[in-house]
Structure 1
């Protein structure tokens, strides 16, 4: 049975090889075979969010977040809302993970001991961002990323 399958396949390939030059006679330029239409796989953004020092054990921890074009998954407490917020910031042309500019004037206030570290990929770019609430600029940066980062408001 296997031998017959191999011989039939070899004969088919030989027949196609012999017929191909005749089928292409009279064409000009390179011949590009038509490929079947394949579904495109949606890119998935994958982030790990680690929060500590929030003062609320339900907000501290390490959470996974995956945002695709049609799905949002992970063990993050607010998966869909987080993906929606990241998409919104991206649509506005903002980098949600950009650090505070070095020349920015910031109010000297303390917003709590919470810190966060986000790693992974977003829009094809590596992410390795640190967040804290040590001054007005850092507090605003944190608040802009809610609900990816937990609310610090009581």
Structure 2
């Protein structure tokens, strides 16, 4: 191939690849197209499993009671129906839906009371309200205790 024709060949290959890539994301491949409701359907997000499709309002929780017992793992899906292994799934979904931003992290400059609420920890991941969720929780100071308690039936309130 003459050197003058090489740039055109490269452009033709790139245009073909771009055309093929655009075909893969058409409406036929969009599971939300039939409902018209993006919040009810799955979405792509690297934080939700490296490009795996995950529904909005779909959470995974790991709760460590801090007493030497193994951590508990639950799932919770709240997308017009409620399902998952969470022991209080209906109540947790109802409570979270009533909150503006349930998984907002604590501000960096927040001043907290020095109190200890227990050794419990939790990790919540997934998607909520169209946004990725990756929140570490504990009960190590007043702010973190309040954050934990604000999530209501999503997380167990320690006894004692």
- TMscore range, shorter length: 0.5 to 0.7
SS of the residue corresponding to residue 147 of structure 1 reads helix
After superposition, give the CA deviation of every residue in 1:62-116 in whole Å (9 maximum; x if it has no partner).
00000012x1000101000010011010xxx3x1111111222111011100000
Pick the aligned partner of 1:142 from 141, 145, 148.
148
SS of the residue corresponding to residue 159 of structure 2 reads coil
Judged with a 3 Å threshold, the aligned counterparts in structure 2 of structure 1 residues 125 and 111 are, in CA distance, closer, same or farther, namely same
SS of the residue corresponding to residue 157 of structure 2 reads coil
Runs of 4+ aligned structure 1 residues displaced above 2 Å come to 38-44, 53-58
The whole-number CA distance in structure 1 between the counterparts of 2:35 and 2:146 is 41
- Equivalent residue number for residue 158 of structure 2: 152
The whole-number CA distance in structure 1 between the counterparts of 2:117 and 2:82 is 30
The whole-number CA distance in structure 1 between the counterparts of 2:59 and 2:139 is 21
The whole-number CA distance in structure 1 between the counterparts of 2:85 and 2:119 is 23
CA RMSD in angstroms comes to 2.2
- Equivalent residue number for residue 13 of structure 1: none
- Equivalent residue number for residue 115 of structure 1: 121
The 5-angstrom pairing of residues 17-36 of structure 1 reads none
Normalised TM-score (structure 2): 0.63
- Equivalent residue number for residue 133 of structure 1: 139
Are 1:99 and 2:105 matched, yes or no? Answer: yes
After superposition, give the CA deviation of every residue in 1:21-48 in whole Å (9 maximum; x if it has no partner).
xxxxxxxxxxxxxxxxx54463442100
SS of the residue corresponding to residue 132 of structure 2 reads strand
- Equivalent residue number for residue 51 of structure 1: 63
Contact persistence 1:54–1:152 (CA under 8 A): no
Q: What is the Cα deviation at residue 53 of structure 1? A: 2.8
SS of the residue corresponding to residue 98 of structure 1 reads coil
The whole-number CA distance in structure 2 between the counterparts of 1:55 and 1:80 is 27
- Equivalent residue number for residue 79 of structure 1: 89
